[in-house]
Amino acid sequence: MRITVFGASGRAGRAFLYAAARAGHTTTAVVRDPARLAKAPADRVVTGGPFDEDEVADALDGAGAAVVAYALRGGRRDVPLYSRGTRTVVDVMRRLRVPRLLVVSEAAYGRHTAGPLNRTVSALYRATARPVIRQREDQDAVIAASGLEWTIVRPVVLVEGPAHGRRRAPFTPHRSPAPRTTYADLAALLLDALEDPATYRRDLYP
């Protein structure tokens, strides 16, 4: 499949590029600074911002799926990357009839937390990161109303490390405190979900 990866220079995006290359997929990496890709493999690199519809359309040309793995850097919580950036991708996907959307989000707010300790941590997070959570909630609303075949993957804590290959029933939030997922395992889950209709219009909790 031809897959366009937004946020490709982040750790989640780079991990997905490696996994997709090993699986034989063709990828387009969308980045602001190609140097940040390091050695991550991509068949095509598009340099551009997340809010320009023409650049997003160029990146999605010929794609069958898109992965959105945006990450705010340097405390830039005022940049509407998750909300407006995702809306731009969704609008162009609908126009170009690209059906499949996978989004890397988080499980630290609202109904995506389970268990008293996780809910306590979530309340503290909401108190300190309200603008980010508001963006995530706006992003959720954009995706839910998109009409696309979407899947949102919601890790709790992402860490470096090899893929462990462990699989659990991923459709319900974790109750254990701060479960860790490696970027490699996150990438493997995205690939597993890519063509699995059971994950369409669902949240996954690795």
pLDDT tens track for 89-102:
999 999 999 999 99
The whole-number pLDDT of residue 8 equals 97
pLDDT 10s digits, 135-144 = 999 999 999 9
Average pLDDT of the residues of the chain:
90
| C-beta separation of 60 from 92 below 8 A | yes
pLDDT 10s digits, 10-30 = 999 999 999 999 999 999 999
- List the pLDDT tens digit at each of the 206 positions of the chain: 999 999 999 999 999 999 999 999 999 999 999 999 989 999 999 999 899 999 999 999 999 999 999 988 755 667 899 999 999 999 999 999 999 999 999 988 878 877 776 666 666 666 677 788 899 999 999 999 999 999 999 998 889 998 887 666 589 887 777 778 999 999 999 999 999 999 999 999 98
Task: State the CB neighbour count (10 A cutoff) for residue 203.
Answer: 20
38: its two tokens: 């390091």
CA dist., res. 34 & res. 72, Å (int): 17
CA dist., res. 144 & res. 137, Å (int): 11
Name the pTM for this structure. 0.91
Q: Where are the beta strands (DSSP E) in 50-173?
A: 65-68, 100-104, 149-153, 157-159
CA dist., res. 182 & res. 80, Å (int): 26
